[in-house]
Structure 1
């Protein structure tokens, strides 16, 4: 099979109406695919135990997703989002569906039932179970707003996992034709959350095109290649890998905003999954930090530690 490889000039010159703008999450498999990839990557990762725990959590997400139906955006809110080029189902809203708190409890139940709970994790789970509704909502606000110092790093992935289930449910049921165009590529047009990583896909109508994947609802949206997915600059873009490492994974850096975001190539590894591969490649993060670049946005399953003096 001959692969179609497009350089940036070709991508910019073709009719963009022919490029699928969005790739909505596949409801039946989105989290199970992620779980399988996490397990595949865990053996070679310095945080393999943690990655296997996140695989168990992703399995719990898939099971829970099949059982819920979140409140969809109203006709009025959709029209307003379209009029003002805003996300159609913004995550940072005061009207968050309380279903997410029930989802959180279901995820905790399933993680406990899987038998991977250490004494430290048991304390995290117990702490989340006893929090009042308003305390949990405050945690969700802090996680979505990336206020790192307001959230215990060990509990943040579970809060985010529950939110992911709810917003993935919404994204999987939205008519993508109703999703507004946003002015910048750095926010999801469905929920407004930053992407976690990008992927150059193979197969069918997506062949050769680069998509960034939302860290919350797993919606993917098209962004031309060799372009910063944080500041939209096309200047000073470079690609970094690890000697002897996977050819399917690179860090795409930008000298305009001095950030980076990882990018994967399905033609080199068909099983590449943006969130999973990003999580399992901490060595590349360390090298990029040493080179003076910062992540454009954190991986939602690995909350950064905040120095005690901040």
Structure 2
């Protein structure tokens, strides 16, 4: 090597480009996503300290699956809306876009009240039945204010106990819209309609609805092997995002990984890590299919709350948002950290 040789480190983007066949940038929600989530939650509940809550979440996911199978045609964005979003580089189903506010409210109310009515007599703990019945007595405005707070990622006025039930209906609605919009495009044989979804200007939020990710997943199989995708907390779309890059500030410097280790030095769950960014002080959980083929981002996030608590003690801020586990503020005089425990569903 001569003194004039120039050495330059490749960026993560360049590494990804040169790493072989590239995966499709988007993975849209599949019909069985809620059933798969319910199955994973039941697996994770075995001998878990949060067994009751995970089983409750599994029942909720199973109901989402059953309800999603019911035909429910929705009003979809027209070609002008899709073209405008494409030019602007924003999600076509942006949760906070003023133009979308009226589109989701009516179908979500229908979805929500049907789900709540089912839960009043379902095989869930009595406190959940009572909560569902109480929520059914609220007027549309009160329910929508809670839903709007959830779409904004939580905040003052949001009831942490009610959040999982209302969020389940929000997830149902947005999954339906994504699936129906994609189905319309496929039926047209790509000739009459614009492709509804593609990558947007901000790679840290969902390219379909603009929500934050719940976690990242590193996939296996063919061209996706080793590729990282961020998983939407709302519509369950997964979009490609290069590895070793902060999902909050997009820095590639000061990235480290944290993982739970037991007293014997063993890893209780090799499939879940927290990717931490020294630059901005945020972290996002990452699940690895190479360690466990059954991982499911939202389910495995729920089951790894201890990792959140320990990483939080380092002063890092959670980037992922899980609408089934909204971290509430502690009561006055309560010295527990915010979100020290999930809403109590009662005995199961």
TM-score of the pair, normalised by structure 2: 0.82
SS in 2 for 1:18: coil
SS in 2 for 1:261: strand
Aligned to 2:264: none
Say whether 1:210 aligns with 2:210. no
Say whether 1:189 aligns with 2:207. yes
Residue-by-residue CA offset, 1:44-94 (whole Å, 9 max, x unaligned) = 432110110010000000111111333222211111100100111112232
CA contact 2:120–2:133 (8 Å) conserved in 1? no
Residue-by-residue CA offset, 1:151-180 (whole Å, 9 max, x unaligned) = 111101111110100111112233484324
Matching residue within 170, 176, 179 for 1:169: 176
Deviates more, 1:244-253 or 1:191-200: 244-253
SS in 2 for 1:264: strand
Say whether 1:81 aligns with 2:88. no
SS in 2 for 1:253: strand
Q: CA separation of 1:149/1:123 partners in 2, compared to 1, >3 Å: closer, same or farther? A: farther
Aligned to 1:105: 113
Alignment of structure 1 residues 292-303 onto 2, 5 Å: 292-303=315-326
Q: CA separation of 1:249/1:297 partners in 2, compared to 1, >3 Å: closer, same or farther? A: closer
Matching residue within 140, 156, 165 for 1:158: 165
Deviates more, 1:208-217 or 1:295-304: 295-304
Say whether 1:26 aligns with 2:34. no
When the two structures are aligned, how many residues end up with a matched partner?
A: 302
Say whether 1:270 aligns with 2:293. yes
Say whether 1:141 aligns with 2:148. yes
Q: Which runs of 5+ in 2 are unaligned?
A: 1-10, 186-194, 262-266, 333-337, 339-348
Say whether 1:41 aligns with 2:44. yes
Q: CA separation of 1:71/1:172 partners in 2, compared to 1, >3 Å: closer, same or farther? A: same
Say whether 1:96 aligns with 2:103. yes
Distance in 2, matches of 1:125 and 1:84, equals 40
Say whether 1:70 aligns with 2:93. no
Distance in 2, matches of 1:123 and 1:110, equals 12
Bigger radius of gyration: 2
SS in 2 for 1:242: coil
Q: CA separation of 1:25/1:16 partners in 2, compared to 1, >3 Å: closer, same or farther? A: farther
Aligned to 2:343: none
Aligned to 2:192: none
Distance in 2, matches of 1:241 and 1:297, equals 16
Aligned to 1:226: 244
Q: Which runs of 5+ in 1 are unaligned?
A: 1-6
TM-score of the pair, normalised by structure 1: 0.91
